[in-house]
Amino acid sequence: MIIARVEARVQPARTGDPKRVGPYRIIGRLGSGGMGTVHAGLDPAGLRVAVKVIHPAQAEDPEFRARFRREVQLSTRVQGPCLIPLLAADPDAENPWLATAYAPGLTLDQHLATHGALTGGTLYAFATGTAQALAAIHAAGVVHRDVKPQNVILTPAGPRVLDFGIAHAADGTSVTRTGVMTGTPGWISPEQYRTGTAGPEGDMFAWGALVAYAATGRLPFGTGAPDVVAYRVMSEEPDLDGLPDELYEPLAKALAKSPAERIFADAAAEECARLLTGQATQVLSADAGPEPTRISDCLTTEWSLPSVEDPAWHFPASPIRKRALITAVATVTVGAAITGGIVTFYSSGDRADVDLASERTATSAPSSGKPSPLSASASTASGAPAETTTASAVDLRTIRIPTDPLAGVPNPAYTRAADETQPLADEWRSSTTASTPEERDAETAIRDRMTSMLATKDMDFMKPTITFNQRAQTVMVTGGPVPQLTENYQDVFRRAGEMAACSTLAHRLKSDPNTWPYGRFSIHWKTSDSDLDASALGYGEATDGCFTEIAGQWQGDESGMATAEIPSSDKAEIRIAYATIKAIVATWNADTTTTNEDALTVNDGINLGFDPVENAAYVWTDDPNSRFASRASQSNLKGAVEEVLCRKLTGEFKSNKTWNYTRWAVAVFDPYTGTRQFIGSGTCTP
């Protein structure tokens, strides 16, 4: 699922944006994501509205339309305090849309980052309002399933719970596809992590974490890798230090590990309302004012946040309508997420023979007085020397990594080529930070390349440290410490470090063979800040080439497949994956008259993803229906995948200058070995 963050201010409309959607005039954007765009609009009376319009690619999918229609139905069912009522919708339009009213305000996480934790009556009003909202949702037979700070906006009138895009009806009808983990790490209940169960009790667990976060400004289960946070949620107690004593009991009930022990939403709303009423009574007694008679009055009285105005909403209006536009009052706001429900796609691949370093790497590196190895003196994709020119004039994606950078060099500075001795622990301990302009250039290139790879997997929290040991002629890439980090995350760090170091050193050896002394690299992982014996994860030489081929052909492998099973967070990758799977299924089904195969369905488990380390797209299936057991079926699948993938990859490569993927591989499950077996792989020609 793609999450589109709705910002506090209206952004300018873009080329191609609609002028009108239904009865609403569009004046700008509020946010966008892989499933669609949220537009800022005005109704005929001048009321500010937020209109969510689904992208054409998703609108063409009948299954998606059915889920969107269900989203509208669920949203219509839910009415209550501190919620966002649906104003209008057309799920059957060419581009389906829905509209809610708009009110200015920051999301909870934005407010905490800017103004700090909520206190006093505002905190009690927040706890009461959000609990009331969940009580109304649950009373309608709906489970929210994505309660988190980004989905609560602090309007001048009180908190508003947003986004029913991944809501789940109590009768089992889901907006999203079944079998897909929904929600956000840190805001997922223990039972959902363990079994995938997402009931009202899970919403209350997230509510407890939400109110604790609002009160303390700290995430109750800390930060870090998703697996680390998941472990804390399932096994450790939340951090509630600094929480007001009165709120401790309802939040402790909400955050119980067992769903059966958790407080219900209506009970939490009543308990927090009692605390809120007591707070209001204390304040009013001091001022000798009248005591509020309703909870809504108390919430309004105690809520203390300033109005937020956005001048972008003001625009020239005709004299007849000007008064209505000026006096229109916004009462509610749009949900902060663009919904969809497509399966999460994964990434994997193998080492690329093309250096796909970003332009940012080539242009942001500190000047060393010499041409960057990525922008000059390198080999082009054809193997011919590239002209010495500026980075902006060269498509860096077409520059090959030299496979033998010291070929023909009589007296290279790097003398340990073919030395199979791996770096020793004392060589790592005696390595130092970059001390020359050339070393700083290499350090920047390696770090930036690794960060760009890891970011597509939400792993850029693993910050690499780059050090140099000139005597050992080795560059050391060190990660950690990250407590409870799983081995698959460390393996992605290793692969990213190997590729980034190997490609950077190979280019440097090619451009400066007589002065650049580093040709070896090793990847290490620290378990603590004081670790003096960091374990070695990997080792290699840039003179051996940075990728492997069999008979001149790139091949998919198990390490790439392991990376494939870690979710991608890159919007372009998910967009291409979604479109490509549809096209693969369509191509297969169109060929069934000649292949005599049965048509594919969503139950046949076709998956696609991308490996940012080796810039390859992988397609795989665990073949739950034994569709691809025969050689003929595997050959037909391979043909469909190659035809569609190369068309999609090369098309995106030509139109999107940040798109790096040109390789592909396909694997199916072999019941005899119990593992996936590769049935094809190759390289597409852009």
- 354 in a domain, yes or no? no
Give pLDDT, residue 289. 46
Catalytic-role residue among 17, 43, 109, 146: 146
Mark which of 254, 283, 308 sits at the end of a domain: 308
Structure confidence at residue 309 as a pLDDT band (50, 70, 90) = low
DSSP state of 81: T
pLDDT tens, residue by residue, 387-404: 333 334 567 788 888 888
- 160 in a domain, yes or no? yes
Residue type, 370: K
**Nearest alpha-carbon partner for 456 in 181, 653, 660:** 660
Co-location of 259 and 288 in the same domain: yes
- 392 in a domain, yes or no? no
Domain that holds residue 635: 558-683
Distance CA 152, CA 175 (A): 20
Structural tokens at position 603: 């139950």
Structure confidence at residue 672 as a pLDDT band (50, 70, 90) = confident
**Residue/partner pairs of 370-373 with CB below 8 Å, 24 or more apart:** 370/438, 370/511, 370/512, 371/511, 372/441, 372/445, 373/445, 373/504, 373/507, 373/508, 373/510, 373/511, 373/512
Q: What is the mean pLDDT of the chain?
A: 78
Co-location of 116 and 49 in the same domain: no
Phi first, then psi: give them for residue 540, nearest 5 degrees.
Answer: -170, 180
Assign residue 39 the CATH number of its domain: 3.30.200
**Which of these ranges, 117-126, 278-287, 483-492, 662-671, has the smallest mean pLDDT?**
278-287
**Which residues, 6+ apart, have CB-to-CB distance to 564 below 8 Å?**
346, 347, 348, 349, 609, 611, 618, 620
Distance CA 407, CA 119 (A): 68
Co-location of 113 and 140 in the same domain: yes
**Nearest alpha-carbon partner for 644 in 606, 674, 615, 678:** 606
E-strand spans in 470-556? 474-479, 520-525, 535-541, 549-550, 553-554
Distance CA 131, CA 273 (A): 9
Give pLDDT, residue 329. 28
Give pLDDT, residue 616. 94
Q: Indicate if the pLDDT at residue 218 is higher than 90.
A: yes
> Between the CA of residue 576 and those of 52, 512, 621, what are the distances in Å?
22, 39, 18
Indicate left, alpha or beta for 145 from its phi (over 0: left) and psi (-120 to 50: alpha). Answer: left
DSSP state of 630: S
Mark which of 323, 342, 361 sits at the end of a domain: 342
Co-location of 319 and 277 in the same domain: no
Strands across the sheet with 465-469, in order?
465-469, 474-479, 520-525, 535-541
Is residue 221 a contact partner of residue 229, using CB atoms and an 8 Å limit? yes
Q: How many CA atoms lie within 13 A of 309 on its CB side?
A: 4
Percent residues over pLDDT 70 in the chain: 78
- 370 in a domain, yes or no? no
- 347 in a domain, yes or no? no
Co-location of 531 and 584 in the same domain: no
Q: Indicate if the pLDDT at residue 293 is higher than 70.
A: no
Q: Is 670 among the catalytic positions?
A: no
Q: Is the bond leading into 481 cis (omega within 30 degrees of zero)?
A: yes
pLDDT tens, residue by residue, 141-185: 888 888 999 889 998 888 999 865 444 444 444 444 333 444 567
Q: Indicate if the pLDDT at residue 113 is higher than 60.
A: yes
**Which residues, 6+ apart, have CB-to-CB distance to 676 below 8 Å?**
561, 620, 622, 667, 668, 669, 670
**Residue/partner pairs of 602-606 with CB below 8 Å, 24 or more apart:** 602/63, 602/177, 606/581
pLDDT tens, residue by residue, 79-104: 788 888 788 889 889 999 988 878 67
Give pLDDT, residue 10. 81
Q: Indicate if the pLDDT at residue 328 is higher than 80.
A: no
Distance CA 60, CA 97 (A): 14
Co-location of 178 and 300 in the same domain: yes
Co-location of 567 and 511 in the same domain: no
State the average pLDDT over residues 430-438.
94
DSSP state of 608: E
Co-location of 172 and 232 in the same domain: yes
Structural tokens at position 328: 């229109």
Q: Indicate if the pLDDT at residue 360 is higher than 80.
A: no
Structural tokens at position 84: 């966002």
Give pLDDT, residue 349. 32
**Which residues, 6+ apart, have CB-to-CB distance to 510 below 8 Å?**
373, 377, 378, 379, 402, 405
Is residue 39 a contact partner of residue 17, using CB atoms and an 8 Å limit? yes
Placement of tokens 């993803």 in the chain = 609
Assign residue 271 the CATH number of its domain: 1.10.510.10
Q: Indicate if the pLDDT at residue 201 is higher than 70.
A: yes
pLDDT tens, residue by residue, 456-479: 888 888 899 999 999 999 999 999
**Nearest alpha-carbon partner for 265 in 138, 85, 84, 148:** 138
Structure confidence at residue 347 as a pLDDT band (50, 70, 90) = very low
Distance CA 135, CA 269 (A): 7
Structural tokens at position 560: 């790439």
Give pLDDT, residue 670. 85
Co-location of 583 and 529 in the same domain: no
pLDDT tens, residue by residue, 363-373: 333 333 333 33
Co-location of 278 and 335 in the same domain: no
Is residue 77 a contact partner of residue 142, using CB atoms and an 8 Å limit? yes
DSSP state of 562: H
Q: Is residue 661 within a helix (H) or strand (E), and if so which, with residue range? A: none
Helix (H, G, I), strand (E, B) or coil at 3: coil
Co-location of 444 and 517 in the same domain: yes
Counted domains in the chain: 4
pLDDT tens, residue by residue, 519-564: 999 999 988 877 777 888 999 999 988 887 777 788 899 899 888 7
> Between the CA of residue 46 and those of 322, 329, 335, 486, 568, what are the distances in Å?
9, 9, 20, 53, 41
E-strand spans in 108-215? 142-143, 152-155, 158-161, 168-169
Give pLDDT, residue 196. 76
Give pLDDT, residue 439. 96
- 327 in a domain, yes or no? yes
Distance CA 102, CA 334 (A): 6
**Which residues, 6+ apart, have CB-to-CB distance to 134 below 8 Å?**
144, 147, 161, 200, 203, 204, 207, 265, 268, 269
Mark which of 546, 581, 601 sits at the end of a domain: 546
Instruction: Give the bridge partners for 96, in sequence order.
Output: none
**Nearest alpha-carbon partner for 573 in 390, 347, 367:** 347
Co-location of 450 and 523 in the same domain: yes
Is residue 641 a contact partner of residue 587, using CB atoms and an 8 Å limit? no
For the whole prediction, is pTM greater than 0.85?
no
Distance CA 266, CA 248 (A): 17
Residue 18 burial by CB count (10 A; 0-12/13-18/19+): exposed, middle or buried? middle
